[in-house]
A and B are shown apart, each in its own frame.
Chain A
Amino acid sequence: MTEAQLIRKAVEGDGSAVRALYERYSPRVFAVVRRIAGEDELAHDYAQEAWIRAIRALPTFRGDARFSTWLHRIAVNSALQALRKAETRRKRETPVRDDLFVAPESGDALLQQRLERAMDRLPEGMRRVLILHDVEGYTHEEIGELVGITAGTSKSQLFKARAKMRHMLTTSRSSTEEDGVEAWSI
């Protein structure tokens, strides 16, 4: 069944079509909301909310953009809005679960985990911009529109975030070397 057919059936309330879309795109949706949320529990809630919004809005999908792009934008918007509404941020000491990753085609799982952990520990503003720019590929203008800041502020936050990430990863490398664990290779 083509994607357009799946979407049409999903609009009609066909559960199997919705599930097929979910199976296809849930790792992508969960990845972006998990990184924006910064912790597993919130990520689960944000992902659910993103899907509800997307399915609710499905009749308005006209096919002007790719469905994946449309869905991704809804997920980002939904997570950012939920994050803004959160009254307090919890301490982020939750370790990244090993079973989260979807079979990486290349690269080092240890490196990925360290990157994820370091991102989780960034201050809120920096983290949002870093994820949207360096992970998700949004431009500073797009980020400004999404987050409600200027493109200049987005750049400034990005550079600070990169520097802080670098510092955290270097510190992490030092401590793991002391512990006799394999060091981060960047």
Chain B
Amino acid sequence: MEHLTAEALARLVDEAPTHEERNHLDSCLSCQEELGALKAQTEALGALPDLRPPRGDWEELEARLISEGLVRGDDGSGRSILPSGVGWMQVAAGLVLLLGGAAIGSSLTRSAGHPSNAVSADLGRTPELVALPAMQVGNVEDAEEAVRIAEQNYVDALIQYRQMAQSSGRFTLMDDPASRYAALDALVRAGQAAVRQVPADPFLNGFLASAVAEQEAVLRRISNTAEDNWY
């Protein structure tokens, strides 16, 4: 009998050999060795270790979770979403992006047909956010705190808006992907402009990547509504 094929030997890693195969294996050292190597290979595959995600993975995920309203902006222990040691450019660009987001959230509220109703009234913090650029910040810590507050207010406002719009039976951001896509598009363009200025900045790149990813997710949702919330 000729040697067993590689695929036959691969099958014998976890299946019993036929009578003919058994007879051959008993007398063929080469096939025995090959089968042993395949068994060792399979065992080694089953023992492969877990892999560490790349650096910055959590920060990017956190930004996306916040942007989707799946988690609150802080963790209750005062942890900032900003990495330590951020520079002025990062803080400034972060403010621009976040305030842009707040403005978009505000404009979405108006465009949704809720002019000066209860929903708008409950978003009373928004004007404060828009006024933030006038704040005098004397150092990085103040600026970081301003960003943190702006970020928190923005997320709170969006969550409130979503809840109230949902309870009123009108559209929500999630139910109106076209508007959301347009809003995200503005964020992406702002992010791209910021990254062009500071191309190597990890914070800005992370923010832009999150915005692009979210925009793509919304696009997928638009093109394939049936698979929304699939998991």
Tell me whether A and B are bound partners: yes
Chain B residues with CB under 8 A of A14: 71-72, 75-76
Binds A, one of B3-11, B117-125, B196-204: B3-11
Q: Is the CB of A77 within 8 A of B57?
A: no
Q: Is the CB of A40 within 8 A of B54?
A: yes
- Residue of A16, A51, A77, A101 near B61 (CB, 8 A) is A51
Per-residue A-contact encoding for B190-224, CB less than 8 Å = 1, 0 else: 00000000000000000000000100010000000
- Residue of B7, B53, B68, B71 near A27 (CB, 8 A) is B53
Chain A residues with CB under 8 A of B73: 15
Binds A, one of B37-45, B91-99, B131-139: B37-45
Q: Is the CB of B71 within 8 A of A56?
A: no
Chain A residues with CB under 8 A of B11: 155, 159
Q: Is the CB of B70 within 8 A of A100?
A: no
Given A78-B231, A186-B41: A101 and B51 interface contact (C-beta under 8 Å): yes
Given A16-B77, A56-B68, A115-B44: A101 and B38 interface contact (C-beta under 8 Å): no
Given A52-B61, A56-B231: A107 and B45 interface contact (C-beta under 8 Å): no
Q: Does B19 lie at the interface of the complex (its beta carbon under 8 Å from any beta carbon of A)?
A: no
Q: Is the CB of B53 within 8 A of A103?
A: no
Chain B residues with CB under 8 A of A101: 49, 51-52
Chain B residues with CB under 8 A of A54: 231
Q: Is the CB of B52 within 8 A of A165?
A: no
Q: Is the CB of A56 within 8 A of B42?
A: no
Q: Does B60 lie at the interface of the complex (its beta carbon under 8 Å from any beta carbon of A)?
A: yes
Q: Is the CB of A31 within 8 A of B48?
A: yes
Q: Is the CB of B9 within 8 A of A112?
A: no
Interface residues of chain A: helix, strand, loop or mixed (majority): helix
Chain B interface extent, by class? 35 or more
Given A14-B71, A162-B13, A163-B7: A30 and B51 interface contact (C-beta under 8 Å): yes
Q: Does A169 lie at the interface of the complex (its beta carbon under 8 Å from any beta carbon of B)?
A: yes
Q: Does B226 lie at the interface of the complex (its beta carbon under 8 Å from any beta carbon of A)?
A: no
| Interface residues, chain B, with chain A CB atoms under 8 Å away | 5-11, 13, 34, 37-38, 40-42, 44-54, 57-58, 60-62, 64-66, 68-77, 79, 213, 217, 229-231
Q: Is the CB of B49 within 8 A of A160?
A: no
Chain B residues with CB under 8 A of A45: 213
| Interface residues, chain A, with chain B CB atoms under 8 Å away | 10, 13-16, 18-19, 22, 26-31, 34-35, 40, 44-45, 47-49, 51-57, 74, 77-78, 81, 99-107, 111-112, 115-116, 119, 130, 134-135, 137, 155, 158-163, 165-167, 169, 186
CB distance from B138 to the nearest CB of A (A): 28
Q: Is the CB of A18 within 8 A of B37?
A: no
Q: Is the CB of B7 within 8 A of A159?
A: yes
Q: Is the CB of A22 within 8 A of B49?
A: no
Chain B residues with CB under 8 A of A111: 44
Chain A residues with CB under 8 A of B58: 19, 22, 26
Chain A residues with CB under 8 A of B41: 115, 162, 165-166, 169, 186
Q: Is the CB of B51 within 8 A of A34?
A: yes
Q: Is the CB of B7 within 8 A of A160?
A: yes
CB distance from A122 to the nearest CB of B (A): 12
CA distance A120 to B162 in the complex (A): 43
Chain A residues with CB under 8 A of B44: 107, 111-112, 115, 186
CA distance A15 to B32 in the complex (A): 55
Q: Is the CB of B47 within 8 A of A30?
A: no
Q: Is the CB of A158 within 8 A of B50?
A: no
CA distance A26 to B52 in the complex (A): 7
Q: Is the CB of B51 within 8 A of A102?
A: yes
Q: Closest 5 A-B residue pairs measured CB to CB?
A: A16-B75, A163-B6, A27-B50, A162-B10, A15-B75
